[in-house]
């Protein structure tokens, strides 16, 4: 039996058509069931539904052979024990620094001010600001990052931005893009070696499904 770990919500919804192209259709919709293990149309493949930030951990320890997870989550996890063979081109957004519209972030950085930055992505933010030589105190939050500057908890945030609507609704502006984000297929490195005969074709099928979806959307890659 192969196990694929997928987070509930937006990434799962976007992954469904890709998985279907690869011949994997869940027996039940994760949004309609409380079950955390769901069978699929592929008799030897099951889905486990986990929290987005837990996908790399399940795959790293081999509790799942494969997983679908955002590059943001992977960066924060560090990627130990994982192969990242396919960019699924779903869940596209960007990881950004954002601050209140009235806060002169660039000037504060120029002056060498010490900034308080709230984020779920502490490790990624630490690396980013260290490379730039910006002094920061990082405050770990688990959600609603946009509230932190409004409530006086932080000068700025590091968070995902997609449409920009959440920033706008809270009077924040994007001041710097850290990295473009999309979801990746990850594979346990040991599984990939020991179950190569089964996993390599499956990964190839998923890669083909992504290419097909992109050509239908008019996107081509060199």
**Interacting residues toward ligand PRP by CB under 6 A:** 143-144, 146, 159-166
Collect all residues with Cβ–Cβ distance below 8 Å to 153 and sequence separation of at least 6: 116, 118, 139, 147
Closest approach of ligand PRP to the CB of residue 140, in Å: 14
Phi, psi of 40 (to 5 degrees): -135, 175
Of 162 and 194, CB closest to ligand PRP: 162
Residue 159 beta carbon to ligand PRP: minimum distance, rounded to whole angstroms? 5
In whole angstroms, the minimum distance from the beta carbon of 166 to ligand PRP comes to 3
**In angstroms, what is the minimal distance from the CB of 128 to ligand PRP?**
17
Distance CA 142, CA 33 (A): 25
The CA distance from 7 to 187, in Å, is: 15
Closest to ligand PRP by CB, 102 or 143: 143
Residue placing its CB nearer to ligand PRP in the complex, 40 or 170: 170
- What's the closest the beta carbon of residue 152 comes to ligand PRP, in angstroms? 19
The least distance separating ligand PRP from the CB of residue 145, rounded to whole angstroms, comes to: 6
Question: Which of helix, strand or coil describes residue 53?
Answer: helix
When the beta carbons of 41 and 162 are compared against ligand PRP, the nearer one is: 162
Minimum CB distance to ligand PRP smaller for 161 or for 203: 161
- Residue in the block written with tokens 């097909």: 212
Nearest to 161 by CA among 183, 132, 141, 181: 181
Strand (E) positions, the chain?
A: 2-7, 37-39, 45-50, 66-70, 82-87, 93-100, 115-119, 136-140, 156-161, 172-181, 183-188
Nearer to ligand PRP, 76 or 159 (CB): 159
Cβ count near 109 (within 10 Å): 20
């Amino acid at each position: 039996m192969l196990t694929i770990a997928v987070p509930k919500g937006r990434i799962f919804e976007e992954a469904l058509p890709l998985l279907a192209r690869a011949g994997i259709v869940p027996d039940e919709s994760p949004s309609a069931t409380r079950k955390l293990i769901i069978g699929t149309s592929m008799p030897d493949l099951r889905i486990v539904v986990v929290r987005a930030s837990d996908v790399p951990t399940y795959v790293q320890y081999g509790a799942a052979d494969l997983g679908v997870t955002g590059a943001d989550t992977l960066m924060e996890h560090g990627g130990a024990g994982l192969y990242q063979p396919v960019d699924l081109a779903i869940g596209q957004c960007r990881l950004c620094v954002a601050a209140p519209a009235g806060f002169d972030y660039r000037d504060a950085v120029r002056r060498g001010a010490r900034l308080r930055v709230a984020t779920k992505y502490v490790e990624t933010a630490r690396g980013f600001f260290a490379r730039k030589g910006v002094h920061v105190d990082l405050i770990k939050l688990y959600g609603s990052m946009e509230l932190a500057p409004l409530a006086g908890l932080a000068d700025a945030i590091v968070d995902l931005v997609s449409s920009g609507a959440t920033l706008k609704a809270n009077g924040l502006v994007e001041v710097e893009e850290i990295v473009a984000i999309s979801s990746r297929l990850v594979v346990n490195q040991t599984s990939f070696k020991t179950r190569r005969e089964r996993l390599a074709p499956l990964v190839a099928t998923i890669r083909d499904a992504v290419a097909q979806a992109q050509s239908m959307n008019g996107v081509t890659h060199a």
